[in-house]
Amino acid sequence: MLGNAFLIALREIRRNLMRAFLTVLGVIIGVAAVVTMVTLGQGTTMAVKSQISNLGSNLVMLRPGMGFGPRASSAGVPNFTLRDVDALRDQVYGIAAIAPVKSSSLSTIYRQKARSTSVTGTTPEYFTINNWKLAEGRFFDENDFRDGTAVCVIGDTAKQELFGSENPIGRLIRIGAPSSSSSSTSSSKSSSSSSSSSSSSSSSTSSDTVYSSTVQVIGVLAAKGQIGMGNQDDTIIMPLTALQRRLTGRTSSRDVSQIAISAKEGSNSDRLVSDITTLMRARRNLDRNKDNDFNVFDTRQIAETLSASTQMMTTLLAAVAGVSLLVGGIGIMNIMLVSVTERTREIGIRLAIGARAREVLLQFLVEAVTLSCIGGLVGIAVAFGLCVGIAQLIQVPFVFDLKINVIAFLFSAAVGIAFGYAPARRAAALDPIDALRHE
């Protein structure tokens, strides 16, 4: 009986293709909208996650400063020391790797080319913590760090800008005083205060006395790409000891501007952050009633927050698109009701030649469901095209999610049943004599 109903429904749809197309247009648009929204939303979530994991594996950043966000201030707040790093490594459970970071914006010169680049002094662990991969050459190692060897590893952008197509490995670059354009304001500010307090320093220019030195390039980092805050690849990384001895000088022991920590896999994020906070408060002699003068950023938490908000956004958009699917269902009901009236005579013929009420009901129901399923399939195909196109346009990875496609399809079928039932019942309730008389 179902097979018959399906056969009859297909014949009916074929008999009036234009009407069928207009009927399912709403469902096509609804399904396409839902699938596109969810797919692109998931792509965005994934992009955000991968960008954050690009920052480092389970990266926790420790920075001096009061408060968060736009009101954050690092003025007058002491930096960290190497002993802080050792203390954290020894006393806090859940740290896989830890590295001191001292960053300065310095000018770099190779032959005729000069540009200002962020120069970071750190330990070899930094590469693991921040997920850096090598494109060529090698990282510096413990020996380089201990000896303060004048070597550096350069980022992809720095390589492109300074060396172009030339192989940079083994070349010498000159690193020196910050270029006037990038740090004029901060250097004047710090020079005015540096005489009064040795601990005062901004994170970008740690000192007013910068020497210059020749440094050998030993490695090139694989590109990470752009991330919200800036270009990560425009960087030069060298041993902290070399940076201190040859470039910035060692004005104070408090010259570690950041501490990068890699949390152990599976460790409790909240616990780790609170342990670090407790230890640092003790080491910085903060009274109980004083606020923290440093911030602990856990990228896992940031990643969770960000992906939660993109997921929320996705859900919201999908809900809006779902409403359009519902409207599409109402469109089906509308056309099916018109169709029942228009085909009253046909229903009369069917009843006269021996169709039972339930067969007429099934015919119209199957017709509605078939239409909505076809609409669902076409919608999924349209969504696929849209996703491929838009994902490319807005630079988001296209992730085909079978689940949402199946759900959207089943939903379209459900819409067909829900909105096809009322017209089908009306058709089945017709009296054969009245239906045959209908003009």
Partner 1 sequence: MTDASLIELRGITKTYGTGDASFQALCGIDLTIRRGDFVAVMGPSGSGKSTLMNLLGCLDTPTSGQYLYQDIAVEQLDADQRSLLRRQELGFIFQGFNLLARTSALENVELPMIYRGIPRAERHHLAAQALASVGLPNKLRNTPAELSGGQQQRVAIARAIVTSPSTLFADEPTGNLDSKTTVEIMELLTRLNVDRGITVILVTHEDDVATYARRIIHVRDGLIASDETKPS
Sign of the torsion formed by the C-alpha atoms of 345, 347, 351 and 357: negative
Which part of the chain contacts partner 1 (CB under 8 A), choosing from 98-106, 219-227, 268-276, 341-349?
Answer: 341-349
Stretch 10-29 residues interacting with partner 1 (CB under 8 A): 11, 15-16
Q: Which of 48, 217, 351, 371 contacts partner 1 by CB under 8 A? A: 351
Q: Which of 8, 13, 85, 243 contacts partner 1 by CB under 8 A? A: 8
Which part of the chain contacts partner 1 (CB under 8 A), choosing from 43-51, 55-63, 200-208, 343-351?
Answer: 343-351
Q: Go through the chain and tell me how many residues it has.
A: 439
Instruction: Give CA separation, 149 vs 145, 240, 245, in Å.
Output: 7, 10, 10
Which part of the chain contacts partner 1 (CB under 8 A), choosing from 105-113, 126-134, 243-251, 428-436?
Answer: 428-436
Residue whose tokens read 């792509």: 43
Which part of the chain contacts partner 1 (CB under 8 A), choosing from 191-199, 312-320, 349-357, 376-384?
Answer: 349-357
Q: Which of 348, 375, 420, 423 contacts partner 1 by CB under 8 A? A: 348
- SS in 3 state form for the chain? CHHHHHHHHHHHHHHCHHHHHHHHHHHHHHHHHHHHHHHHHHHHHHHHHHHHHHHCCCEEEEEECECCHHHCECCCCCCECHHHHHHHHHHCCCEEEEEEEEEEEEEEEECCEEEEEEEEEECCHHHHHCCCCEEEECCCCHHHHHHCCCEEEECHHHHHHHHCCCCCCCCEEEEECCCHHHHHHHHHHHHHHHCCCCCCCCCCCCCCCCCCEEEEEEEEECCCCEECCEECCCEEEEEHHHHHHHHHCCCCCCCECEEEEEECCCCCHHHHHHHHHHHHHHHCCCCCCCCCCEEEEEHHHHHHHHHHHHHHHHHHHHHHHHHHHHHHHHHHHHHHHHHHHHCHHHHHHHHHCCCCHHHHHHHHHHHHHHHHHHHHHHHHHHHHHHHHHHHHHCCCCCCCCHHHHHHHHHHHHHHHHHHHHHHHHHHHCCCHHHHHHCC
Nearer to partner 1, 159 or 350 (CB): 350
Q: Does the protein bind partner 1 through residue 346 (CB under 8 A)?
A: yes
Nearer to partner 1, 23 or 232 (CB): 23
Q: Does the protein bind partner 1 through residue 401 (CB under 8 A)?
A: no
Distance CA(35)–CA(385), nearest Å, equals 11
Which part of the chain contacts partner 1 (CB under 8 A), choosing from 77-85, 140-148, 187-195, 351-359?
Answer: 351-359
Q: Which of 349, 382, 390, 407 contacts partner 1 by CB under 8 A? A: 349
Beta carbons of 432 and 348 less than 8 angstroms apart: yes
Nearer to partner 1, 316 or 433 (CB): 433
Q: Which of 352, 388, 394, 410 contacts partner 1 by CB under 8 A? A: 352
Q: Does the protein bind partner 1 through residue 350 (CB under 8 A)?
A: yes
Nearer to partner 1, 233 or 367 (CB): 367
Nearer to partner 1, 7 or 316 (CB): 7
Nearer to partner 1, 147 or 359 (CB): 359
Q: Which of 113, 146, 264, 356 contacts partner 1 by CB under 8 A? A: 356
Beta carbons of 190 and 200 less than 8 angstroms apart: yes
Nearer to partner 1, 2 or 402 (CB): 2
Compute how many residues bind partner 1; rule: CB under 8 A: 24
Q: Does the protein bind partner 1 through residue 71 (CB under 8 A)?
A: no
Which part of the chain contacts partner 1 (CB under 8 A), choosing from 137-145, 211-219, 352-360, 396-404?
Answer: 352-360
CB of residue 351 vs partner 1: minimum separation in angstroms? 7
Q: Which of 112, 285, 354, 403 contacts partner 1 by CB under 8 A? A: 354
Q: Does the protein bind partner 1 through residue 4 (CB under 8 A)?
A: yes
Stretch 357-376 residues interacting with partner 1 (CB under 8 A): 357-359
Nearer to partner 1, 142 or 342 (CB): 342
Binding footprint of partner 1 on the chain (CB under 8 A): 1, 4, 7-8, 11, 15-16, 345-346, 348-359, 432-433, 436
